[in-house]
Amino acid sequence: MTGTPEELVDHLFRHQSGRMVAVLTRIVGPANISLAEDIVQDVLCDALETWKFGRLPENPAAWLMQAARHRAIDLVRRAGRFSALSGELRRHLESQQQLITAIDNLFGESAIDDGVLALAFACCHPDLQPDSQVTIILKYLCGFSVREIAHAFLVSEQTIEKRLTRGRAALKSQIALDLDLGHGLETARLGSVLRAIYLLFNEGYHGANESFPIREELCSEALRLGLLLATRPPFDGPETKALVALLFLHGARLPGRVDEEQYLVTLAEQDRSRWDRDLIQRGLFWLGESAAGDSVSEYHIEAAIAAHHVVAPSVEGTDWGEIRTLYAALAQLRPSPVIALNHAIAAGMADGPSAGLAALNSIGGKERLQAYPFFHAALAEFQGRLGDLSAARRSLDRAIAAARNPRERVLLQDRRLALGENS
Amino acid sequence: MQKYMFLFRGGDAARAAASPEEMQQHLRKWGTWFRGLGDKFKGGEPLDMTGKVLRGTGKALSDGPFAETKDLVGGYAIVEASSLEDAVEIARGCPIFEHDGILEVRPIREMKM
């Protein structure tokens, strides 16, 4: 016996829950994922009952996994011709011993990781909208409850339930959770999985809920899944590595980040000494690893932009020219007004406020940015730098009117105050 | 100092709806509570919910404790306290109530000279 319940690794239950659900779903088949969840709930309840008197087993994570394995074997023993077995296992049905060996194999350490990835791929079924994909990943792979997911996205529990219903229907259409590389299905779907991880991270980074711990957890879940992919051939291609680099480099800035939505607004005020040096190093490492082959993905470009920010000593000491070039490349791959805005800001920072204003005013489709407060904030920034304070005040007033939440409003009002009253 | 038997009952039904994270947080509170007892904790164990019951003069044997889940004894602890009031005060801090459980505090009879 070692340790006490207070010394358990943070989120151990939640993390192991996702791993157990993944392996059990591989055994009972995606159509029976709710059964897998019930088993996991039982295992966790047992652990709670057994450990709550203050003593823990030698290896709590392994204890949980063993308990799940025992329950899986019990299930198979009780129903020899168990209808709920996945296609993957059904071929072992003639012999119970073979079946148990097959189950044991699925509980091997690297097989568990494969199970997690297999479930991640299943969750990214093409019939599902990205928000549903992310929702069922959070539910099944990350062990969040409906209430917790609703809380993180600031939507109602019914909305989450609806997404889960759609998600389960999509899972049911898949006979087995198989990382059978021969099918090519997994590599074909890799792009959707990377996108879901990216969205999961963004939800944490920019998301609706202001509660910091929840947002940080979403980011670390994205990183966990990303790393799993980046270390598992054949999913460990340059695009995957670039995504992981991006997540590390953005994650590094989480501690120093107060409320920023747009780097021009508060990047200057961030305390760079609070950025996580270790995460920066790891991000730069993965960025280096991603530089292979001849394809450049959005993740490569975004990671490169993030790298420029984290290695710069200050806003003034940032290589804005290079960032402008990168945003131009990103706009080619993924045209959007917000990327065009970032490009214009970088141009202004590189070539001076007049160039910045010109770039902002020449954004194609900038009507769509009228409702976006940071478009006006960027105008105000360059107008202020040119000494046109009354124009800057008007722009900030528009920015404040467009603020989408109290946090943004406070941020912009502070800047407005700094410009003084109308003369 | 007097010894008291703490009988922990129930606290199950509500837990079924707890998320993994909430369960771990609940577990952590139990750990903190038991550690807080320090030297006053004189032993105790959680009990499995299976078992056999022997009954009456015929020693009739049956499976399992029959009480409803919410009344089932899930564990016991022996705790030292200066008085029943003191023991009750200690019991009040127990996390079992978060899950609507029951804590029965019983003085252990002593052989008085």
Mutation for B interface: A2, A49, A55, A160, most B CBs within 10 A: A49
Sequence-separated contacts (24+) of A154-160 with Cβ below 8 Å: A154/A207, A154/A208, A154/A209, A160/A135
| pLDDT surpassing 60 at residue B59 | yes
Whole-angstrom Cα distance, residue A376 to residue A402? 9
Q: Which residue of A has its CA nearest to B76?
A: A53
Residue A264: the pLDDT is 42
Mutation for A interface: B7, B27, B47, most A CBs within 10 A: B27
Residue A40: the pLDDT is 95
Chain A nearest C-alpha distance from B38 (Å): 12
Lowest-confidence pick of A135-139, A336-340, A393-397: A336-340
Whole-angstrom Cα distance, residue A152 to residue A171? 23
Are B75 and B41 a contacting pair, CB within 8 Å? no
**Token code pair at residue A34:** 């709710």
Mean pLDDT of A176-203: 76
Closest to A331 in 3D by CA, of A319, A346, A352, A316: A346
Residue A177: the pLDDT is 63
Q: How confident is the model at residue A185 (pLDDT cuts 50, 70, 90)?
A: low
Residue A412: the pLDDT is 87
Q: Is A44 on the interface with B (CB under 8 A)?
A: yes
Q: How many interchain CB pairs under 8 A, A with B?
A: 76
3-state secondary structure of B5: strand
**Token code pair at residue A163:** 């997404």
Share of chain A above pLDDT 90, in %: 54
User: What are A11-36's pLDDT values in tens digits?
Assistant: 999 999 999 999 999 888 888 899 99
Residue A254: the pLDDT is 80
Are A355 and A385 a contacting pair, CB within 8 Å? no
Q: Is B39 on the interface with A (CB under 8 A)?
A: no
Mean pLDDT of A369-395: 93
User: What are A111-143's pLDDT values in tens digits?
Assistant: 999 899 989 999 998 889 998 999 999 999 999
| pLDDT surpassing 70 at residue A265 | no
Residue A154: the pLDDT is 80
- Judge: A53–B24 Cβ closer than 8 Å, yes or no: no
Residue A1: the pLDDT is 47
**Token code pair at residue A83:** 């209808």
Share of chain A above pLDDT 70, in %: 87
Q: How confident is the model at residue A182 (pLDDT cuts 50, 70, 90)?
A: very low
Closest to A306 in 3D by CA, of A334, A351, A276: A276
Return the half-sphere exposure (C-beta side, CA atoms, 13 A cut-off) of residue A51.
Answer: 32
Closest to A406 in 3D by CA, of A357, A373, A384: A373
Q: Give how far Cα A246 sits from Cα of A138, A224, A231, A285, A294, Å.
A: 20, 13, 16, 11, 19
| pLDDT surpassing 50 at residue A246 | yes
Which helix (DSSP H) or strand (DSSP E) does residue A279 occupy?
Answer: helix A277-290
Residue B111: the pLDDT is 79
Chain B nearest C-alpha distance from A21 (Å): 12
Which helix (DSSP H) or strand (DSSP E) does residue A128 occupy?
Answer: none
Whole-angstrom Cα distance, residue A168 to residue A137? 11
Whole-angstrom Cα distance, residue A139 to residue A146? 7
Exposed/middle/buried for residue B56 (C-beta within 10 Å: 0-12, 13-18, 19+):
exposed
Mutation for A interface: B15, B25, B29, B30, most A CBs within 10 A: B30
Residue A263: the pLDDT is 43
Whole-angstrom Cα distance, residue A394 to residue A402? 13
Whole-angstrom Cα distance, residue A413 to residue A196? 34
Residue B16: the pLDDT is 64
Mean pLDDT of A249-267: 65
| pLDDT surpassing 90 at residue A61 | yes
Share of chain B above pLDDT 70, in %: 92
Residue A8 or B81, more confident: B81
| pLDDT surpassing 90 at residue A409 | no
Task: Please report residues of A whose CB lies closer than 8 A to that of B79.
Answer: none
Cβ neighbour number for residue A53 with a 10 Å cutoff: 19
Task: Please report residues of B whose CB lies closer than 8 A to that of A51.
Answer: 27, 31
Mean pLDDT of A366-383: 90
| pLDDT surpassing 60 at residue A227 | yes
Closest to A24 in 3D by CA, of A81, A89, A80, A91: A89
Mean pLDDT of A344-357: 95
Mean residue pLDDT of chain A comes to: 87
Residue-by-residue DSSP string for A98-116:
HHHHHHHHHTSHHHHHHHH
Residue A324: the pLDDT is 96
| pLDDT surpassing 90 at residue A75 | no
Cβ neighbour number for residue A354 with a 10 Å cutoff: 12
Q: Give how far Cα A222 sits from Cα of A26, A141, A204, A244, A384, Å.
A: 22, 11, 9, 9, 39
| pLDDT surpassing 80 at residue B33 | yes
Residue A164: the pLDDT is 95
Q: How confident is the model at residue A273 (pLDDT cuts 50, 70, 90)?
A: confident
Task: Please report residues of B whose CB lies closer than 8 A to that of A5.
Answer: 27-28, 30-32
Mean pLDDT of A146-169: 91
Phi, psi dihedral angles at A128 (to 5 degrees): -95, 140
